[in-house]
Amino acid sequence: MSLRFPPSPNSRHGTFRIRVYPCPSVVKNSGSPTIPVPRPHLYLLAALLVALGISQFSDRIDPYFLDVIIGIGINIILAVSLNLVNGYTGQFSLGHAGFMSVGAYLAAAVSLFLGPKILGEAGGTALQQGLMFLAALVAGGLGAAFAGLIVGVPSLRLKGDYLALVTLGFGEIIRVVFQNVEFLGGALGLNGIPAYTTIFWVLAFVALSVFVVTCLVHSTYGRGFLATHDDEIASESVGLNTTRYKIVAFVIGAFFAGTAGGLYGHFKMTITPTGFDFTKSIEIVVMVILGGMGNTLGVILAAILLTLLPELLRPIAEYRMIIYSLMLIILMLVRPQGLFNFKFGKAKL
Amino acid sequence: MTTQSESLNSQPSTLNFPLSEFLQQLLNGLSLGAIYALIALGYTMVYGVLRFINFAHSDVFMVGSFIGYYAGKHVPERTYWGGLLVLVVAMLGCALLGMLIERLCYRRLRGSATLNVLITAIGVSLLLEYSGQVFFGATPRTFPDIFPSTNFAFGSLVISSNQILVIVVATLLMVALQLIVYRTKIGTAMRAVSLNPKAAQLVGVNNDIVISFTFGLGSALAAAGGILYAINYPSIDPLMGVMPGLKAFVAAVLGGIGNIPGAALGGLLLGTVETFVNGSQWSTYKDAIAFAILIGILLFRPAGLLGKFTVEKV
């Protein structure tokens, strides 16, 4: 850092440097000097170990409880990844479910059509299955990221309302295309997807998505996302390529939406195009808004709350969407910074 | 012998077929487009004065046809006066609903970030849809025949009186709207607010009343669209507004949002294109075509067909 930006107070870089938060991952002296691994990476490692530890005891956990936790985890990945686009970068995407569906279909296709060829008829060992699943998830994520790139490059030149509608439109187009592709089951969807999703994979990808988004936003590069959110014209005039930031946010968001889709498909074992419609996108958007846009912790809490709420409100399930919509309106009127934004006083975003 | 004579008989009709098929599709397209145009006008007017997309507009359209459904039970079927009465009741009801939505939700958010208003609009839209599912029930209902209907056949071309009715009513309403906007005092005030809200206020225009009136007018047109849609496609449900609403929005953008003749033109164009796609071999992609048009127009001519391109000022 200090090598790239010489600490001369008069240079343009110097003045710019003052406004830039240093990335936590490059802050020195955070621990004992013998450990070269930065702190967020340690957190990630710890989270992965915890996930591995919990998965050892997953047989003893009540299956219903386990299902709810997996549902929560998938929603956290979706909400945290959308938060990078809608919260930190300030673009309003309404097509997250579309990217989720791309990931879900691609991952399901990999383990349905390629899986038997690679693993053989016997199905392979647990380790082979795990690697196969990882490959399927990554393929799903990359496919979704590619879809995000295709959607993002043309549409991110638009702002606000228009972007919202174009992303919504793309989400619908993706759905219509899946409904018409016979190879992927058409309107009936894909069935018999192997149930690879375990608590370990869900927790691991939750940790990974939170890690990537947090580190990215707090890095020197990532400050550009916040700058794009705060004032696009001002950011452009100091030389930031805001379109590029928007596309990067979109592609990374789409990648994690795709992996979440892959996890979802291998959890439910069946996917249909209508499962990823506009309502699903809205559900994810509500999580981001409820948690406070640009606030990862709040968004995680909101994802947990909104996954538990339908479980608790099962007797009045028909009123669920009414409650969601009223929540949106009242939040915007009374507390636009989100329910779980604990920064009192002046709202940060 | 018989097969030969049949093939001989069918020979002229296959030659005539494309033209009459074309005219038939064009007529269907125009009547669908007229409905899109009516809804698009509401989007475009609200965008003109407030610079935001009223997502709830498509659900006002849905409420309009449900008001028509309930009001239609109290008038004698298949009479012109009864049908017009239902139309007027639905338009008045929706005008009130539109003004109520503006008063309760949007007015408090005037001046706050665009995103907040957009999210509120989505919230209102979902609220109307899902309250509709609870109160009206999610199962589709059959819309009553409120207008007398007959079919006129010209050779193989079939024109239903409902299609003519849709085109006539839509044209009359659009002419009336044009007169209101360009020939009355409140219309002048609307244009003033659209041009510059602060300056309008300085010369004595009450912005609240003008914006409220705009919502009322737009919602009344949406209700008329809802009734006309339900006459031609007589199966109504609480989510029926979503697709026509989105397509009408595409129509508004296609013509140039904020531009009233543009919305009418965009609606007619979109309705025609969609009907032709529906009649072709790609009919399953009917719903995707509108979005493809939207994306194309935003990329290549963001100001729309009739709109003027403006540079953003800092």
Q: What ipTM was predicted for this assembly? A: 0.80
Cβ contact (<8 Å) for A161 and B133? no
Residue position matching structure tokens 């008069």: A10
Q: Dihedrals φ, ψ of B299, to 5°?
A: -80, -40
Cβ contact (<8 Å) for A318 and B133? yes
Angle among Cα B199, B200, B202 to the nearest 5 degrees reads 65
Q: How far is A36 from chain B (nearest CA, A)?
A: 42
Cβ contact (<8 Å) for A162 and B298? yes
Q: 297-316 in A: which are within 8 Å (CB) of B?
A: none
Q: Which of A92, A161, A328 sits opposite B123 (nearest CB)?
A: A328
Touching check for B282 and chain A: CB below 8 Å? no
The pair of structure tokens assigned to A276 is: 């990823």
Quote the percentage of chain B above a pLDDT of 90.
46
Cβ contact (<8 Å) for A160 and B118? yes
Q: How far is B54 from chain A (nearest CA, A)?
A: 10
Q: 127-156 in A: which are within 8 Å (CB) of B?
A: 154-155
Touching check for B112 and chain A: CB below 8 Å? yes
pLDDT single digits (tens) A266-301: 999 999 998 888 888 888 988 898 888 888 899 999
pLDDT surpasses 90 at B291:
no
Give, for B45, the enclosing helix (H) or strand (E).
helix B2-50
Which chain A residues have a beta carbon less than 8 Å from that of B249?
A: 165
pLDDT single digits (tens) B123-169: 999 899 999 999 988 899 999 988 888 888 888 888 888 889 999 99
- Give the residue on A whose Cα is nearest the Cα of B101: A329
Quote the percentage of chain A above a pLDDT of 90.
32
Question: What pLDDT sits at residue A12?
Answer: 39
**Inter-residue contact A77 to A245 (CB < 8 Å):** no
Q: Dihedrals φ, ψ of B109, to 5°?
A: -100, 5
pLDDT single digits (tens) A117-159: 887 766 677 888 888 899 999 999 999 999 999 888 878 777 7
Which chain B residues have a beta carbon less than 8 Å from that of A158?
A: 298, 302
Structural domain boundaries of chain B? 28-238
Question: What pLDDT sits at residue A52?
Answer: 84
Question: What is the value of pTM for the model shown?
Answer: 0.80
Between CA A244 and CA A91 the distance in angstroms is: 13
Q: Dihedrals φ, ψ of A310, to 5°?
A: -60, -30
Give the pLDDT mean for A4-12.
Answer: 41
pLDDT single digits (tens) B161-198: 888 999 999 999 999 999 999 999 999 999 999 989 99
Q: Which of B116, B294, B295 sits opposite A332 (nearest CB)?
A: B116
Cβ contact (<8 Å) for A325 and B124? yes
- Give the residue on B whose Cα is nearest the Cα of A318: B134
Residue B296: pLDDT band by 50, 70, 90 thresholds?
A: confident
Contacts of B290 (CB under 8 A, 6+ apart): A169, B246, B247, B250, B270, B274
Residue pairs spanning A and B at CB distance below 8 A: 106
Residue position matching structure tokens 């709810």: A68
What type of residue is B263? A
Three-state secondary-structure class, residue B131: helix
Q: 31-70 in A: which are within 8 Å (CB) of B?
A: none
pLDDT surpasses 70 at A218:
yes
